[in-house]
Structure 1
Amino acid sequence: MFIKTGIIVALLTVQLTSAFSQNRVPVIRENIPLDSIRLSDPCILADERTSMYYMTGTGGMLWKSKDLKNWTGPFSVAKTDPESWMGKNPMIWAAELHPYKGKYYYFATFTNRAVKIDTVGENVIERRASHILVSDKPEGPYVPMKDPTYLPADKPTLDGTFWVDKDGKPYMVYCYEWLQNLNGTMEKIALKPDLSGSIGEGKLLFRASDSPWSREKSTGGPNKVTDGPYLFRTGTGRLGMIWTSWIDDVYTQGAVYSKSGTLDGPWIHDKEPITPPNYGHGMLFRTLTGKWLMSVHSHRNSNGRYIRNPHLFEVDFSGDKLIIGKPYIP
C-alpha cells in the first residue's frame, strides 16, 4: 500500500508542481464555467460584505464570481515570507478562506521542497505544514502573522481547517501525514484568540485505520490516508466532519460524528461513503441566497494524468446527519 500511494503522490507532484507555485504569473480569464476550471480541493467563501463568491484551493490562487456560474481568475493572493521555513517558492495545497472577528484567514498547507525532514522506507519527506495567513479583505493579499510555525517542524502536516468548539475557543484541525506515521491521523491544536499562532501540542482525534469504509486494494485492509477535513454542526447540534481517503483506486469521501459534540469525540464513523466514487476533499458553504451546498472536486485519470475539477452538490444537514443530494448546476 505504502509504495503504491507513494507513487500516486510522486505523480501528482511531477504533474502539478507548476500549478502549486504562488510565484508563477497567472493569466486572468473571465466568464469561466465552474467545471472548466482545473482545481483541487476547492473551497468557496460566500462573502456578504462584497456580495461575491471567492474560491481557492490547491495552488494558492483565487477565483471570483457573482453567481457561482461564471468565474474570473486566477489571482495570486498568498504573500509568504521567503526568509521563513517555507522558502522562496513554497508549494501551496488545500487553501481555505475563513472570516473571523472582522478579518479573513487563509488556512493552507505549505511545502518547502528544498528541506527534507525524514526518510521512511522509500519515501523522502519534505518540510510541509499547515499554516495561517491573514487579510482585511477576502481577495487578499494574505500575509503571515506573528508565529513562524503552528505545528512541529519534524512532522509533515496538511489540510488544516478551522473550527470554534463549544468552549468558544478556536482550533485548527489537520492531518498528520501517513508518509511518516504509516497510519494517517486527524488531529486538533488550539489557536491563539487572533489565530496568530498555536497553543500547546496537537491532540489525536482518530486514525485513518478507524474508518470502516476505506480500503487498500493490495492488502484488503483499511487505507492509511487521512485527507481534507471539514467540520459542521447538524440541525440537532451534532458535530460532524467530512474527510477523504481511498477505496482501492477510488478517491472517496466519508463522514464521522462526535459522540460528545466536541472535537474531543469519541468519533463514530459512518459505515459507507457519502459522495459518489471519485469525488473528495469537500467543504460546506451557504450561498448568498441561503442555500447550503458542498464544494468538492472530481478525480479522474486521463492517460496517466490526474484531472481534478470543482463541482457542487446540494446538501441537507437540518436533521441528525449530513445527506448529500443531487449535483447543483448554477
Structure 2
Amino acid sequence: MVKLKSKFTLATFIGLLAVLFGGFFNTSCNNTTQKQISYTPIDSIKLSDPCILADSASQTYYMTGTGGKLWKSKDLKLWEGPFIVTETDSNSWMGPDPMIWAAELHAYKDKYYYFATFTNRDVIIDTVAGNKIERRASHILVSDSPEGPYKPMKDPTYLPADKPTLDGTFWIDTDNKPYMIYCYEWLQNLNGTIEKIELKPDLSGSVDEGKLLFKASDSPWSREKDQDGNDVPNKVTDGPYLFKTETGKLGMIWTSWIYDVYTQGVAYSESGTLDGPWIQEEDPITPPNFGHGMLFKTFDGKTLMSVHSHKEINGHYHRVPHLFEVDLSGDQLIIKKPFHP
C-alpha cells in the first residue's frame, strides 16, 4: 500500500507540474501577444488631420495624421497601433524633437512618401501683430515600406526658411510633374494662402519657387469678426487635398472657419490644372465642425472621405477621425452619408 501510494503520488505530482507549467507558459505567451497588439475602433482614436493610405500590395489601410504616429487596419473598423514611424535628423532645421502635424502617406514610383508639417519651437523666424512665429515647414520623408521607417532625403529644405508653411499634400499635374500643394500660414501674411511648388522627379527636393493658387479671402463661406466687430472673410487656410471627379474635373477640398465653427469647403479649377483659376463653391461641403479631409478608395471600390470632428472641451481640442461616403460620378464632389465600417 505504501509503495503504491508513493508511485501514484509521484506520477500525479509530475502530471500536475506538466499541466501547471504548460498552462503557465501558454498563458504567458498569449498574454504577451495580446499586450503587443492593441486594436481600437476608429471613433475611439484621438487624431487630427487623419489621412488613410489604402495599400493594395499589402491589402492594408494605413492611417496617420497630426502627432506623427501610424495605425493599420484590414477592415477600417479596428486599428492596430499607434506606431512611431519617423526618423528625423536632430541636426537639421527641425531640431531634436519637432512637432509633427498633418502627416500624409503617398505611394509613388515604388516608394512611400511621408508629407508632413514639422515645427521647431526653439527657433523664432518672425514676430507679426504680437505673435512669435516658430520655424515651421512642410517637408517630405521616404521609405521602402508603408510601415516605415520614414527618413529625410538629400535636400535640407523644400520651402523658404523665413515663411511658416504647413499641410503639404501631393499631386501630379497635367504636365506629368510632381507638386507639393501647401498653405502659407496666415500668422505671417495675415491672409492665408494655398500655393504649389514643383518637386524633383524623386521628390527629394523642390524646384524654383512657390506659386499662389488662391487666398483665404477668396472664400465666400468662411467668416470672422475683425478687431472692430466687422464681418470679414476668415484668414485661415488649412488642409488642402486634390481630387478629380469621374468626368475629369479637378477639385480641392480645404478647411477654414465660420466664426468658431471648423468648416470645410471645396474649389474647382476652371483650367483643369493646378494653375486654375480656382472657383470657390458658395457653401461648405461637410457638416459643421468637420474638416481637414482627404479622399481614398476602399479595396471594394467605395470612395470615402476621412475627416476629423472638432470639439472644444475645457479649453482643449478634442478631435476624432470619421469617414463619409462620397460620390464623384458627376462634375462635383457630393458627400452622401457617414460610413460605418
* TM-score calculated relative to the size of structure 2: 0.88
8 Å Cα contact 2:39-2:81 kept in structure 1: no
Change (3 A) 1:321 1:28: farther
Aligned partners of 2:304 and 2:146: how far apart in 1? 20
Q: Tell me, which stretches of 5 or more residues in structure 2 are unaligned?
A: 1-34
Residue 68 (structure 1) aligns with: 76
Residue 167 (structure 1) aligns with: 175
Stretches of 4+ aligned residues off by more than 2 angstroms: none
Residue 326 (structure 1) aligns with: 337
Residue 40 (structure 2) aligns with: 32
Q: Following superposition of structure 1 onto structure 2, how do residues 129-144 of structure 1 map, counting pairs within 5 Å?
A: 129-144=137-152
SS where residue 273 of structure 1 aligns? coil
Correspondence for 1:128 among 136, 147, 159: 136
Query: Is 1:238 aligned to 2:249, yes or no?
Result: yes
One-letter identity of the residue aligned with 2:102: A
Residue 265 (structure 1) aligns with: 276
8 Å Cα contact 2:62-2:72 kept in structure 1: yes
SS where residue 187 of structure 2 aligns? helix
Query: Is 1:285 aligned to 2:296, yes or no?
Result: yes
Residue 190 (structure 1) aligns with: 198
One-letter identity of the residue aligned with 1:280: G
Residue 212 (structure 2) aligns with: 204
Quote the sequence identity (%).
Answer: 76
Per-residue Cα deviation, 1:109-164 (whole angstroms, up to 9, x for no partner): 00000000000012100000000000000000000001000000000000000000
8 Å Cα contact 1:28-1:72 kept in structure 2: no
Structure number with the bigger relative contact order (C-alpha 8 A, sep ≥ 6) is 1
Residue 316 (structure 1) aligns with: 327
One-letter identity of the residue aligned with 2:203: L
Q: Which has the higher helix share?
A: 2
Aligned partners of 1:28 and 1:190: how far apart in 2? 42
Aligned partners of 2:83 and 2:142: how far apart in 1? 16
One-letter identity of the residue aligned with 2:180: M
Residue 118 (structure 2) aligns with: 110
8 Å Cα contact 1:28-1:75 kept in structure 2: no
Q: Tell me, which stretches of 5 or more residues in structure 1 are unaligned?
A: 1-26
8 Å Cα contact 2:297-2:303 kept in structure 1: yes
**RMSD of the alignment, in Å?**
0.9
8 Å Cα contact 2:142-2:152 kept in structure 1: yes
Per-residue Cα deviation, 1:275-329 (whole angstroms, up to 9, x for no partner): 0000000000001111100000000011222100000000011110100110000
SS where residue 179 of structure 1 aligns? helix
Q: Choose 1 or 2 for highest CA Rg.
A: 2
8 Å Cα contact 1:120-1:179 kept in structure 2: yes
One-letter identity of the residue aligned with 1:169: K
Aligned partners of 2:313 and 2:164: how far apart in 1? 29
SS where residue 272 of structure 2 aligns? coil
* TM-score calculated relative to the size of structure 1: 0.91
Shift of residue 29, structure 1, vs aligned partner: 5.6
8 Å Cα contact 1:29-1:74 kept in structure 2: no
Say how many residue pairs are matched: 304
Aligned partners of 1:188 and 1:275: how far apart in 2? 24
Aligned partners of 2:249 and 2:36: how far apart in 1? 41
Query: Is 1:276 aligned to 2:276, yes or no?
Result: no
Aligned partners of 1:209 and 1:97: how far apart in 2? 29
